[in-house]
């Protein structure tokens, strides 16, 4: 039977052979998570995803219903929603003190791959709930933690993120929502928010909204933004629900994809009765919100990856079954499965190289989270924390760009059927498009990489990131059969380090606009180099294992080496062309007049 979401053999390879996740059990914090337990967790997640969540994917594409300020989610969500909560899947890697499961983040990401790949719209509600809870755990006061955390991590209540307004999209500092302090220390909130995922729904008894607003008299721009907790229903001191808190849904968007996720417009304080409590410090709202934003950006990368791997699994199964055309070398034998045709094989290998490289990257980011938690000293904690900061724009930006490409290939492999709603790859392609936009567009991610992450802490963390890539290349150079691949990757690496130095220097000088016009190509090149790192690492592990492998295992390990060979000898040549274009830093983007783009 074809695997409909992810290749379990590859999931196990990354967890146990590439990352050796059970090494984490050497620490008391993760002592209970041996190989048997890890495998059981992934198996249970896979079963729930395939049997209960995945059947909701196509019917939920019909969307949600808005009527009289209320949003009704697809009826098919009810059973898997309840099962997801009963299984305590929402807070898998969070502190047991607040109802979390305490498992390694690396393992939680493997489970989440199946959930997200089954129905990303269904999982959006849970992802945002987790992000809101995490922020309260990080910066909330004792009372807020006591009132909210267990209800959020259990999924009894839901959470959202209220940033965007009609006049303040990417420019958050332009927001107009205001907060006025009351005598009892609470705040009256008045404003309008748009594009709020899960802003209203009928699955939970309460929804907790972290809201960005400006306290009256606060400075303009992002410096004057504060963060507030605004529940749909007020929460009494004993934890019981109080009166409706004047958070009114005024409509939902009709979208290209993720239609099972309600994207809401909300009015706060329209009747003058919306009350919030300050979360964190006054005028530090943006800094606080970035706790949730970074979590959310890594989640978006996971969403894109999971949708892409699902598309690949469908395309691979279809290519093995669809008989069309003869083998070019043996036309007399008649029709063959399309996986035997060279161009289809090329597309499948492009999909495979991306899906597998990204799986390694995302699981590795989970390992970085775990290393932060287990760090023995401040230096080790800083090393992995800063590495995560560098990886975040790559995971959010590069991964979601490539996920959309993978999903497009999925449609192409199906041919005309892929363009029809009767087949799953059409919806997956539509769903994948939003990931390049929300939680900071990929253009913003590229500016973050160039403007902040490369020069962060005098460039030391970025040099450490590059050092890890060079270490993988050097190791591959010493393995028989990988030498040529490693040499090619080293050539690209050398050019990249030269170019990144030049563009970073230009970004601080007179050619700053020219430099930032190249920030997205630089993000793509950085992502390509990161994929080369991951695929070489995989090939090195596979090469060591191949000598003793037999049957399907031997084919799997050979596939790792061939996938790396394909990527290095195809994609990295394109990367070098891109790097040379960046180095040229042509000024056409900056110099062309607005009128020259076209007639008004």
Q: Which segments within 132-256 are labelled E, that is strand?
A: 158-159, 178-181, 187-197, 207-215, 225-231, 233-235, 241-244, 247-252
Name the more confident of 172 and 281: 281
245 is a domain residue = yes
Question: In terms of domains, do 28 and 92 share one?
Answer: yes
Alpha carbon distance 210, 142 (integer Å)? 17
Q: Which domain holds residue 53?
A: 8-63+72-153
- My answer on whether 149 and 266 are in the same domain is no
Instruction: Give the Cα separation of 504 and 546 in Å (integer).
Output: 42
Same domain, 112 and 171: no
Q: Is 106 within the bounds of a domain?
A: yes
Q: Judge whether 299 lies within some domain.
A: no
- Domain annotation covers residue 455: yes
Assess whether pLDDT exceeds 70 at residue 1: no
* Residue 18 included in any domain: yes
Asked about 439 being catalytic, the answer comes back as: yes
CA distances from 8 to 22, 219, 461 (A): 17, 52, 33
Write the CB contacts of 595 (distance below 8 Å, at least 6 apart in sequence): none
Task: Give yes or no: residues 140 and 185 share one domain.
Answer: no
pLDDT score, position 334: 85
pLDDT digits (tens, 9 = 90+) for 167-183: 887 788 889 999 999 99
pTM: 0.96
- 330 band by pLDDT with thresholds 50, 70 and 90: confident
Judgement on whether residues 241 and 148 belong to the same structural domain of the protein: no
User: Tens of pLDDT along 289-317?
Assistant: 777 778 889 999 999 999 999 999 999 99
Number of structural domains (the chain) is 3
- 232 and 94, same domain (yes or no): no
CATH of residue 113:
1.10.540.10
Asked if residue 18 and residue 86 are part of one domain, the reply reads yes
Q: Which of 234, 268, 283 is the last residue of a domain?
A: 283
The predicted structure's pLDDT at residue 484: 97
* Domain of residue 163, CATH code: 2.40.110.20
Q: Are 166 and 147 within one domain? A: no
Query: What does the alpha-carbon distance between residue 543 and residue 437 come to, in Å, rounded to a whole number?
Result: 39
- Of 252, 283, 314, the position where a domain reaches its end is 283
Neighbours of 372 (CB within 10 A): 18
The pLDDT tens digits for 27-40 are 999 999 999 999 99
Nearest-angstrom CA–CA distance, 12 and 271:
54
Same domain, 76 and 195: no
From the list 439, 490, 502, 594, the catalytic residue is 439
Helix, strand, coil % in the chain, rounded to nearest 5: 60, 15, 25
């Amino acid at each position: 039977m074809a695997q409909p979401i992810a290749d379990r053999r590859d999931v196990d390879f990354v967890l146990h052979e590439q990352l050796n996740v059970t090494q984490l059990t050497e620490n008391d914090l993760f002592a209970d998570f041996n190989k048997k337990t890890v495998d059981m967790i992934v198996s249970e997640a896979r079963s729930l995803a395939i049997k209960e969540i995945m059947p909701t994917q196509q019917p939920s594409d019909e969307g949600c219903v808005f009527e009289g300020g209320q949003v009704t989610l697809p009826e098919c969500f009810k059973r898997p929603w309840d099962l997801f909560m009963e299984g305590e899947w929402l807070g898998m890697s969070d502190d047991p003190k607040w109802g979390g499961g305490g498992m390694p983040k690396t393992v939680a990401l493997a489970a989440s791959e199946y959930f997200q790949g089954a129905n990303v719209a269904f999982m959006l509600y849970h992802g945002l709930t987790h992000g809101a809870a995490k922020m309260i755990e990080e910066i909330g006061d004792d009372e807020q933690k006591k009132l909210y955390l267990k209800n959020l991590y259990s999924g009894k209540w839901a959470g959202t993120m209220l940033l965007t307004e009609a006049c303040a999209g990417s420019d958050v500092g332009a927001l107009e929502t205001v907060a006025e302090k009351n005598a009892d220390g609470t705040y009256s909130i008045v404003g309008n928010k748009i594009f709020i995922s899960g802003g209203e729904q009928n699955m939970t008894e309460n929804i907790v909204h972290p809201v960005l607003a400006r306290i009256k008299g606060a400075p303009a721009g992002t410096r004057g933004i504060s963060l507030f907790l605004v529940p749909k229903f007020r929460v009494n001191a004993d934890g019981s629900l109080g009166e409706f808190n004047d958070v009114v849904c005024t409509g939902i968007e009709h979208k290209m994809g993720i239609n099972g996720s309600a994207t809401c417009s909300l009015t706060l304080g329209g009747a003058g009765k919306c009350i919030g409590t300050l979360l964190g410090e006054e005028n530090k709202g943006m800094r606080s919100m970035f706790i949730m934003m970074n979590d959310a950006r890594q989640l978006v990368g996971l969403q894109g990856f999971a949708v892409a791997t699902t598309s690949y699994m469908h395309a691979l199964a279809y290519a093995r079954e669809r008989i069309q055309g003869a083998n070019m070398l043996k036309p007399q034998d008649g029709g063959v499965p399309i996986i035997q045709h060279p161009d289809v094989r090329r597309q499948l290998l492009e999909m495979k190289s991306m899906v597998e490289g990204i799986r390694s990257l995302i699981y590795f980011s989970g390992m970085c989270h775990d290393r932060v938690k287990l760090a023995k000293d401040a230096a080790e904690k800083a090393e992995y924390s800063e590495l995560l900061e560098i990886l975040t724009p790559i995971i959010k930006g590069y991964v979601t760009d490539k996920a959309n490409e993978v999903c497009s290939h999925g449609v192409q492999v199906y041919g005309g059927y892929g363009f029809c709603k009767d087949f799953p790859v059409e919806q997956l392609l539509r769903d994948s498009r939003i990931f390049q936009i929300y939680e900071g567009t990929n253009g913003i991610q590229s500016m973050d990489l160039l403007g902040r992450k490369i020069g962060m802490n005098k460039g030391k963390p970025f040099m450490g990131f590059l050092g890890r890539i060079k270490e993988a290349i050097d190791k591959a150079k010493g393995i028989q059969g990988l030498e040529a691949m490693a040499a090619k990757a080293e050539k690209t690496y050398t050019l990249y380090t030269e170019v990144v130095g030049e563009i970073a220097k230009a970004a601080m000088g007179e050619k700053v606009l020219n430099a930032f016009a190249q920030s997205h190509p630089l993000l793509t090149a950085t992502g390509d180099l990161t994929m080369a790192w991951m695929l070489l690492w995989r090939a090195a592990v596979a090469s060591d294992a191949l000598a003793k492998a037999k049957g399907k295992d031997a084919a799997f390990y050979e596939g790792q080496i061939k996938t790396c060979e394909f990527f290095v000898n195809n994609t990295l040549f394109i990367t070098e062309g891109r790097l040379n274009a960046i180095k040229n830093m042509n000024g056409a983007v900056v110099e062309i007049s607005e009128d020259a783009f076209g007639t008004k």
